[in-house]
Structure 1
Amino acid sequence: MRHLLLLCLALITLSCGPGKEELLGETEWQRKTNATFKDASKSPLKKKDLKTFKSLDFFKYDSIYYVEAKLKRTPNSKWFKMKTTTDEESEERIFGVLTFKLKGKTHQLNVYQGKDLMTTEGFEDYLFLPFLDDTNGDTTYGGGRYIDLQIPEGDSIIIDFNEAYNPYCAYNEKYSCPIVPRENYVPVKVEAGLRAFKK
């Protein structure tokens, strides 16, 4: 699958003739994210921001933020209403606890599973990893960031903080975004993924 995506990307790049801008980004994920934000039918950007959009502001890719975590599943966890930035609530449960090392220290984060997404085609294995760190409100969005994961077959899972992204409400207040639970705080600077959006 990865080879197919790379091939498609190469074909798109080759087909870019005069007048067509090549997508900016250091990695495939960065280019794909920029493509979504450039697409008016998918972009969370306001019209005024979309008109001048070239690229989001990413940290430089750093392999120290690509970590393997041990997953301790919590099959008996209860469903709860995760608060959002609006009156809406998302029904979630803690799928498990992720333990990993970053910058010489051991950390733990809860990873969540959404009740509605479990029965949504294409999202049956989706896991949601929201987190806070010491860059929030400085170089990154104050409300924390998210990472998308999938249920692994075993008890280990890769967390790539280079793919940490901002909730859509960081770009447009009309969106309803899950609020990162306080316990999902990593007491280090995670200088990876997306920086704060400058409006």
Structure 2
Amino acid sequence: MTTTDVPESWQETVEAEREKKARFFRDGPRSPLPPDLRGEEFPGLDYYDPDPAYRYELDLHEHDDPEEVTVGTTAEGERTYHRWGEFRFDLGGDRVTLQAYRPTDGSDRLWVPFRDRTSGAETYGAGRYLDLEPEHHRTPEGRWVVDFNRAYNPTCAYNPAYECPLVPAENWLDARIEAGERDFPGPHGADE
């Protein structure tokens, strides 16, 4: 299912979330931006226009025995996750699968990282993330709301001082996802 059940206030909610993030990045004391890019120097954040075609309500096909996987990071470190399940959906006329991971700390949050054909050209080269929380991203029927309009850049896209997990190769898509956050227009974007 894609756009059939999009709430009327959906677009306004997406735009309000984007504005809140921009204010935090520009003025927040815990902004991930280097100090020289905050305040009046803040170049803004860039997004694709909200598009309900990139909002899905999907079943999570949980793996019988979630495998522990090690994911490399931008600083040559490692993070460990459980490969919890997969989302299957149609994208650009093709059937695609994205793995969903759970942290090994016992959290029930799902991490859905991905790279697509916009990565490195229009969006951050190392890929983007979706975080799904059961209390916020589930329908009353138990399906997950996978909304690529909420895809965001990892903190290392804004500041190389951060260490970010890399997108596993199994979540590299041979399709374009023209939704969510574009590459950061500041000096720490994908071209660095």
Spell out the pairing of 1:1-199 with structure 2 (5 A cutoff).
27-51=15-39, 52-53=41-42, 55-116=44-105, 118=106, 124-151=107-134, 152=138, 156-198=143-185, 199=187
Q: Give CA deviations for 1:100-141 in whole Å, capped at 9, x if unaligned.
A: 12223221000000012x2xxxxx321100001000110101
- Please tell me whether the aligned partners of residues 37 and 43 of structure 2 are also in contact (alpha carbons under 8 angstroms): no
The runs of 5 or more residues in structure 1 that have no matched partner are: 1-5, 7-24, 119-123
Distance in structure 2 (CA, Å) of the matches to 1:84 and 1:155: 32
Distance in structure 2 (CA, Å) of the matches to 1:62 and 1:29: 15
Q: Give CA deviations for 1:7-44 in whole Å, capped at 9, x if unaligned.
A: xxxxxxxxxxxxxxxxxx97122122213212332211
Give the number of aligned pairs. 170
RMSD of aligned residue pairs (Cα, Å): 2.1
How far 1:79 moved relative to its partner?
A: 1.6
- Please tell me whether the aligned partners of residues 67 and 101 of structure 1 are also in contact (alpha carbons under 8 angstroms): no
Per the alignment, in what secondary structure is the counterpart of residue 66 of structure 2?
coil
Indicate the percent of aligned positions where both proteins have the same amino acid. Answer: 36
Distance 1:154 1:75, change over 3 A: farther
Counterpart AA for 2:158: Y
What TM-score do the two structures reach when normalised by structure 2? 0.81
Distance 1:112 1:60, change over 3 A: same
How far 1:196 moved relative to its partner?
A: 0.5
What TM-score do the two structures reach when normalised by structure 1? 0.78
Aligned residue in 2 for 1:3: none
Aligned residue in 2 for 1:21: none
How far 1:90 moved relative to its partner?
A: 1.4
Distance in structure 2 (CA, Å) of the matches to 1:187 and 1:141: 16
How far 1:89 moved relative to its partner?
A: 1.8
Q: Give CA deviations for 1:71-98 in whole Å, capped at 9, x if unaligned.
A: 1101412223211111432110111011
Identify which range, 66-75 or 132-141, moves more after superposition: 66-75
The runs of 5 or more residues in structure 2 that have no matched partner are: 1-8, 188-192
Counterpart AA for 1:40: G
Larger-gyration structure (1/2): 1
